Amino acid sequence: MKAKILLLDKNHPLIDQQLLAQGFVLDEDFSSSYDEVLKKINDYDGIIIRSRIPIDANFLNQAKNLKFIARVGAGMENIDCETAKALNIELINSPEGNRDSVAEHVLGMLLILMNRLFIASNEVKNGIWLREENRGDELLGKTFGIIGYGNMGKAVAKRLSGFGVEVIFYDILPNLSDEFATQVSLEELQKRADILSLHIPLTNLTHYMIDENFINKMEKDFYLVNTARGKNLKTSSLVEALKSKKVKAAALDVLEYEKSSFEKLDVENDDLKYLLNSDNVIVTPHIAGWTHQSKEKLAQFIVDKILKLYNI
């Protein structure tokens, strides 16, 4: 009998269909609490998750038979990866599955923002016809700066190849330049970028990476796009930069105040109210990687990697 797997979040049905066809035993549990799952975790060789249950050191140390954790998505911050690796638990994710949808979302938000499309459309629908006030700003000729050149960053750079922009990026790994973008130091990116787009995981190094100090080092007034993680960006610093016009406008698919499960916002405060009421800010509910196509692709990559793990 092949591995017994516990599915803790709803995903595309192809996961069940394809793994069952290969002889895996699957149990679904989309409602039990952390403690309830912990009581039965020793029955399973693997778990497939999204973000509902945190997989911390306590969980992992009690999961004596766990061979792998598969997260249907890119970020792994809800898993204690160091403990998992120390316990020889294989970690699987699927950033390849939603990189295209993230890239399209970045461009969609940015074009709407720079050309004031949402604002102008609402004005016309309310009988207001303003042309000069809604004059747009072209991408052509600008320098587009990316932080993090993994699956998402590369997909964004590829989409930009027809827009007449120069794409530069910063990454902690060396020698990543390709036909779509040139790797530079963080200092050079801060000197040259007209637009800044974040594509980094949430780690100790990237928590509040974009704060007042970082923003002040940006030489130009710039547009900011965040489709990575809310806590990569310090909201209070962004608000101050928007007020001073150092940040011209911001497109945010993620917010610092999201619950860890990404289900909803966790707080209300003046900084959040400012963002939600600003004409210079677009906010979407963590949906950049959330297309009909990405749902299927995310699941397929997870299945393929589990089958590869078992040499199938």
Q: Is 286 a catalytic residue?
A: yes
Q: Is 131 a catalytic residue?
A: no
> Of these residues, 99, 116, 256, 258, which one is catalytic?
258
> Of these residues, 229, 240, 268, 296, which one is catalytic?
229
pLDDT digits (tens, 9 = 90+) for 121-135: 999 999 999 999 999
> What are the two backbone dihedrals, phi and then psi, of residue 223, each rounded to the nearest 5 degrees?
-90, 145
pLDDT digits (tens, 9 = 90+) for 104-158: 999 999 999 999 999 999 999 999 999 999 999 999 999 999 999 999 999 999 9
Please count the other Cβ atoms lying within 10 Å of the Cβ belonging to residue 292. Answer: 8
CA-based torsion, 116, 109, 145, 238: positive or negative: positive
Give the model's pLDDT for residue 244.
Answer: 98
Identify whether the C-beta of residue 150 lies closer than 8 Å to the C-beta of residue 199.
Answer: yes
> Of these residues, 99, 105, 116, 286, which one is catalytic?
286
Sheet containing 4-7: order of strands: 25-28, 4-7, 46-49, 68-71, 90-92
Q: Is 229 a catalytic residue?
A: yes
**pLDDT over 90 for what percent of the chain?**
92
Where the chain has pLDDT below 50, the residues are: none
Identify whether the C-beta of residue 73 lies closer than 8 Å to the C-beta of residue 51.
Answer: yes
CA-based torsion, 77, 70, 82, 289: positive or negative: negative
Domains in the chain with CATH codes: 4-93 (3.40.50.720), 98-283 (3.40.50.720)
3-class DSSP string for the chain: CCCEEEECCCCCCHHHHHHHHCCCEEEECCCCCHHHHHHHHHHCCEEEECCCCCECHHHHHHCCCCCEEEECCCCCCCECHHHHHHCCCEEECCHHHCHHHHHHHHHHHHHHHHCCHHHHHHHHHCCCCCCHHHCCCCCCCCEEEEECCCHHHHHHHHHHHHCCCEEEEECCCCCCCCCCCEECCHHHHHHHCCEEEECCCCCCCCCCCECHHHHHHCCCCEEEEECCCHHHECHHHHHHHHHHCCEEEEEECCCCCECCCCCCECCCCHHHHHHHHCCCEEECCCCCCCCHHHHHHHHHHHHHHHHHHCCC
Give the model's pLDDT for residue 156.
Answer: 98
pLDDT digits (tens, 9 = 90+) for 72-97: 998 898 999 999 999 999 999 999 99
Which class for 17: exposed (0-12), middle (13-18), buried (19 or more C-beta within 10 A)? exposed
